[in-house]
Amino acid sequence: MNEPVRVGNLYPGIVHPGALQQPKNHIGGNAQPQGNSFKELFQDELFRLSNHAVKRLEQRGIELKPDQISKINSAIDRAAAKGAKDSLILMKDMALIVNVQNRTVVTAMDKNSMQDNVFTQIDSAVIIS
């Protein structure tokens, strides 16, 4: 399953970027009701792409592979655990700015776009190898 994920295509275990929904907040400390479907539980683990991020991915020819998606998800989880709000996620050949609270990738840059760039309005960085 090393096939790259292209924006706009539906792959097993990955929801089309336009169909991703914001994770549901369970307020009040009550235990989750029993009987949640797998789909509902899985949605809480996904991140979504903003319209701007989708455009940047397409413009820059960036394809997210399933293993990269998993690493991004993990990076968002780690940033959230530390209380991050807006985080820079650096990978080998790309950078993503993520709104951690909404689990939304705000923008994406390829290696060339990162050169001589200054990243602002972030409070944390996660480096993925």
- C-alpha distances in Å from residue 74, one per residue of 81, 82, 88, 106, 115: 11, 13, 13, 17, 25
Q: Which two tokens stand for residue 94?
A: 């790309």
* Beta bridge partner(s), residue 11: 14
Residues 36-94 have pLDDT tens digits of 554 454 455 589 999 999 999 999 999 988 999 999 999 999 999 999 999 999 998 89
Find how far residue 117's CA is from the centre of its chain: 21
Residues 7-35 have pLDDT tens digits of 444 333 333 444 444 444 333 344 444 55
Residue 50's identity, in one-letter code, is S
